[in-house]
């Protein structure tokens, strides 16, 4: 099966995420990751630690993965190594 990538700004927590939703559970409000549910992940419920608007983190199981940073070339690199770095950076440019 072919793969696709969805590029979005990385949220700092589940509360700010477009895929994080809140619903009323048995006795309180709970957060649910709609993206994890679509991916058939075992982890879907978001703890209050990550669904709080003041939180500065996302859970380890978050399906959103950050893109790698661009690399820089060094003076002591060979032409081949510089070409590898340039190619990698061009791939990142195409994605974003």
Question: 64 and 18 in contact (C-beta within 8 Å)?
Answer: no
The domains of the chain are located at: 8-65, 66-96
Q: Is the pTM of this model over 0.75?
A: no
DSSP letters of 44-70? -EEPHHHHSTT-----TT-S--PPPPP
pLDDT digits 0-9 by tens, 63-88? 898 888 999 988 899 999 999 999 99
pLDDT digits 0-9 by tens, 32-67? 888 887 887 777 788 777 888 888 888 888 889 888
């Amino acid at each position: 099966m072919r793969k696709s990538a969805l590029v979005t700004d990385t949220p700092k927590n589940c509360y700010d995420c477009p895929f994080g939703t809140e619903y009323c559970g048995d006795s309180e409000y709970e957060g649910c990751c709609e993206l994890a549910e679509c991916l058939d992940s075992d982890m879907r419920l978001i703890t209050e630690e990550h669904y709080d608007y003041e939180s500065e983190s996302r859970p380890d199981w978050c399906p959103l993965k950050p893109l790698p940073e661009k690399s820089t070339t060094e003076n002591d690199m060979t032409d081949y190594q510089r070409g590898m770095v340039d190619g990698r950076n061009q791939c990142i440019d195409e994605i974003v």
